[in-house]
Chains A and B, each alone.
Chain A
């Protein structure tokens, strides 16, 4: 069964304290892995797409990496405005209509 698991569920960081969020997946074949940011009361905002193991993408303080079993979202020197829920989703090969979303990691960055 295709499955996406995110950890931890919640993370509190001091401003400037770097850390990583994890997204592990079990799918029959991966077409793509997507990271989103969701602020309270708003829709998910697209961040990155990763397609193959070893691929990396960066945007400001965020860096996403992909292996054959998991993806990491590294947050370097976070700021309070990085506080949000981060969602990952996988798209299964040969089932391109279906995105499987994880339940997210709620990140709080304390000034």
Chain B
């Protein structure tokens, strides 16, 4: 099992450009999450999907959109990137919302 996979691993964008971060899990988990991790701050939840067909905002959703494409895949879109979105982005999944989360390897995004 690959667990949680994310693409790309690294990305550099210019202000105003758009991109989509991809995430997939092969553990048959129902819930999926997107976090960002910044120096000196804990992981912060951007959006989550409790189950296929549902998505909800987390702590820091502004500037992002998500799509739960199917049970395996959960994508994060930046419509118009800003320097404040420079961060490391992690996707995670869990059996359901009550259980521990398993994380992907992360995407390091720089917006200039």
Contacts and interface: CB of A to CB of B under 8 A. Distances in A.
A104 B105 CA distance: 18
Nearest to A100: B42
B42 A102 contact: yes
Interface stretch (A42-50, A58-66, A75-83): A42-50
Chain B contact patch, size range: 20 to 34
A34 B4 contact: no
A4 interface: yes
A41 B106 CA distance: 8
A103 interface: yes
Nearest to B50: A97
Nearest to A6: B42
A46 B102 contact: yes
Interface stretch (B12-20, B60-68, B70-78, B93-101): B93-101
B90 A97 contact: no
8 contacts: A34-B100, A44-B43, A49-B100, A89-B43, A91-B98, A97-B48, A97-B50, A98-B58
Interface of B: 4, 40-45, 48, 50, 56, 58-59, 90, 92, 97-106
Interface of A: 4, 31-32, 34, 36, 41-46, 49, 87, 89, 91, 96-104
